[in-house]
Amino acid sequence: MRWILSPSHPVNHLGIYIGNHQFIHASSGKAYSVTISSLNGWYKDKFKWGKHINENK
């Protein structure tokens, strides 16, 4: 998962989707730690693209 702040800014954050509209990522906010967040609201608006990785290939 990758996000951008605006079309003129490069990707600056990565996360791993864990299902149920949630992802795990390193927080740069108050927590400064690895956290689980909802892929709704602010993150939903900033989401750029994702890729499914198939373990069987």
Q: Quick one: which H or E segment has residue 46?
A: helix 42-46
Give me the pLDDT at residue 57, please.
62
pLDDT in tens, 17-55: 888 989 888 877 666 788 888 888 888 887 777 777 777
- How many structural domains compose the chain? 1
The CA distances from residue 4 to 25, 48, 49, 57, in Å, are 15, 6, 10, 30
More confident residue, 57 or 41: 41
Q: Which residue range is the domain that position 24 belongs to?
A: 2-49
Give me the pLDDT at residue 31, please.
64
Q: Which residues contact 50 (CB under 8 A, 6 or more apart)?
A: 1, 2, 17
pLDDT exceeds 70 at position 1: no
Residue 57 lies in a domain: no
DSSP letter for 8, please: T
Residue 7 lies in a domain: yes
pLDDT exceeds 80 at position 4: no
